[in-house]
Amino acid sequence: MKVFIVDDEFLQRQLVKKTVNWEKLGLEIAGEAEDGEEALDKILEEKPDILIMDINIPYINGIQVSEKVKQVLPDTQVIILTAYGEFEYAKQALSLGAASFVLKPVNPEELTEELIKCKEKLEKIHHQNNSFQKMKEEINQKQREQYLLECLSGIGGMEKEERIRQILGIRKPVCYVVLLLRFRDKEGKEKQLEEIGDMMQDYFPEYECLEINQQDAVFLLYGENQMEYQVQLLGGYLQEEMNQSAVFWGGASQPRTAFTELKEAYQEAYSAGRKGRQQKRIHIFEPMDMTTFLGIISYESETINSLLKKRSYQEYMDCVEACFDRMKQENVTQQAAYYVAMDILVHFSLYLAEVGIDVGTQVEVDQRALAKLQDYGSTEEIRDILWMILERGRILLESHKVPATRKKVSDAKEFVDQNFFRFDMSLNLVADAIGVNASYLSNIFKKEQGCSLSKYITSVRLEEARKMIRKYPDKTLLQISEEVGYGDVYYFSKSFKNQYGITPSKYFEESK
């Protein structure tokens, strides 16, 4: 805490500075002044916690300085130095908010005692302010969640787009997808949600989770244009990693940009979830014409992917080619061909990562090449690009040369350790930084470390937050959460409790 001294006598200022053990008290001298005018300018600039001031100083006396300081810095504690004949002035200063007065000549023990009282009072004020701020943040988050639930159900969200974004705190243009998950096991839902959250963060660094009831949870996934690939990749990953025993299933909406359409997005996710329940997987909403089309060409993702698992690579390629031949015969739209191509690419990429083949960032390049053809390319062009991708992968699979993984995992950890505070920290960011494919990195990291990369990012951030809470008790949870890379203080608090079994607010109390 900072202390400022005001006295027109140089020797008196020196006496105050030299007779108190400032370091032992945890205080430091921030500055000094010899008159009221000079004092006011410096005090408003330095913003000291404690002001030690003679009552009789030139130009502007101590009472007036104290009054003006209290108007701008109400928490600053003022100790008045006064002579025997100045009791009336001292009483007036106390009535205007001064903490106490000390008689001249100054007794070091008496001044030290008053400084300790001021420090204790300031600590109490800071604690109350922090508690109020934390409570305000928690209330705001709960109100936001309630409004979001009302928008999804159709009760709320009647405002204009700009107003909805303002209430939700969404400033930049963003796409979103609503993902609805239903859990078979109510008891294990909380643990499963934590694991899913780790995976979710790999693909969507910005997301939020709302628990609707004992069985259902809704995720809002935020991203940029062309989210379809990431959503399909996430769905495939969740299905591969978590859903082998069908402990949960769900549905995802189509990507949207308007938050006035939250209700429609939720209805899409709900509709897709019903199909996901039948198939025991994560199902992405398909418009009616797409569903009809998939039935016409007899496209079954599971059947084609099973050939990969059996290592029947040539049969797999033949099956994909036959699928596109049927599309050509039925004269399907390029959007439908793009949908099938992306579904094939997603599962093919996941399989390459699963068997330990790193294709660098080539998959992302391929995905972007396909995305360009979504609205303007022909079915033949889409097929040709997909075929080139699959053929390149097939050659890698048949040679099956698996690169060393330990160095890449070490590079990933080093990058996270040095950049954990970045809001955009994600699986994709780390993969780009070390020059590997995201799915491949996710797979090798989990095998080497026994946990997902996002789990490692979370543990690094939370450990740093734990240290900061102990080291900087004056900081709010919002400040700490932002400094370790969390844009959402509610999600930070929830993650902290999951890791340490205690809320950050309670940890702060126990660390005092």
Q: What CATH number is given to the structural domain containing 9?
A: 3.40.50.2300
- Give yes or no for residue 199 having a pLDDT over 60: yes
pLDDT in tens, 74-119: 888 988 887 755 556 656 656 655 667 787 788 888 889 889 988 9
Same domain, 263 and 365: no
Domain identity same for 245 and 300: no
Residue 509, token pair as written in the block? 């109390």
Q: Is residue 369 part of a domain?
A: yes
State whether residue 442 is helix, strand or coil.
Answer: helix
pLDDT of 494 > 90? The answer is no
For residues 209 and 294, membership in a common domain is answered with no
- Give 420's contacts (C-beta < 8 A, 6+ positions apart): 457, 460, 461, 464, 484, 485
- pLDDT confidence of 32, banded at 50, 70, 90? very high
pLDDT class for 213, splitting at 50, 70, 90? Answer: confident
3-state class percentages of the chain: helix first, strand second, coil last, to nearest 5: 65, 10, 25
Whose structure tokens read 């890698």? 396
Considering the domain architecture, whether residues 29 and 120 belong to the same structural domain is answered as yes
The answer, yes or no, to whether residue 444 has pLDDT greater than 70, is yes
* Residue 438, pLDDT above cutoff 90: no
Angle at CA 345, nearest 5°, toward 344 and 348? Answer: 85
Domain assignment present for residue 115? The answer is: yes
Which pLDDT score is estimated for 241? 60
Overall average pLDDT of the 362-383 stretch: 72
Residues 384 and 301 in one domain: yes
pLDDT bucket at 372, cuts 50 / 70 / 90? confident
Answer with the residue of higher pLDDT: 184 or 116: 116
Q: Is 425 within the bounds of a domain?
A: no
CB 27 within 8 A of CB 115: yes
Q: Residue 56 domain-assigned? A: yes
Q: Report the distance separating Cα 63 and Cα 98, nearest Å.
A: 9
| C-alpha span between 330 and 295 (Å, rounded) | 12
Q: What's the CATH code of the domain at 505?
A: 1.10.10.60
Q: Do 66 and 36 have their domain in common?
A: yes
Name the more confident of 297 and 346. Answer: 346
Spatial distance between the Cα atoms of 434 and 449, rounded to a whole number of angstroms? 17
The whole-angstrom separation of Cα 141 and Cα 477 is: 13
Retrieve residue 175's tokens.
Answer: 């796409």
Mean pLDDT for the stretch of residues 32-53: 91
pLDDT the model gives residue 194: 72
Is residue 33, in this structure, part of any structural domain at all? yes
Q: Is the pLDDT at 325 greater than 80, yes or no?
A: yes
pLDDT digits (tens, 9 = 90+) for 277-292: 776 677 777 765 555 6
Question: Would you tell me the crossing angle of helices 108-153 and 504-511 to the nearest 10 degrees?
Answer: 170
Q: What stretches of 96-188 show up as alpha helix (H) in DSSP?
A: 108-153, 161-168
Chain center to CA of 254: 23
Give me the CATH number covering residue 279: 3.30.70.270
The residues pairing with 51 across neighbouring beta strands, listed in sequence order, are 4, 78
Question: Rounded to the nearest 10 degrees, what angle do helices 87-95 and 62-72 cross at?
Answer: 10
pLDDT at 183: 80
- Of residues 406 and 496, more confidence is placed in 496
Exposed e or buried b per residue across 157-166, where buried means at least 16 C-beta atoms within 10 angstroms of its C-beta: beeeeeebbe
> Do 331 and 376 sit in the same domain of this protein?
yes
Q: Are residues 9 and 112 in the same domain?
A: yes
This prediction has a pTM of: 0.49
* pLDDT greater than 90 at residue 4: yes
Burial of 26 (0-12, 13-18, 19+ CB in 10 A): exposed
Name the band, by pLDDT with cuts 50, 70 and 90, for residue 42: very high
Note down the domain range covering 461: 409-415+439-511
pLDDT exceeds 70 at position 168: yes
Residues 183 and 299 in one domain: no
Segment 406-417 mean pLDDT: 87
Is 135 within a domain? no
pLDDT computed for residue 99 by the predictor: 63
Q: Do you find a cis peptide bond into 105, omega within 30 degrees of 0?
A: yes
Q: Say how far apart CA 177 and CA 333 lie, in whole Å.
A: 24
Domain count, the chain: 4
Residue-averaged pLDDT of the chain = 80
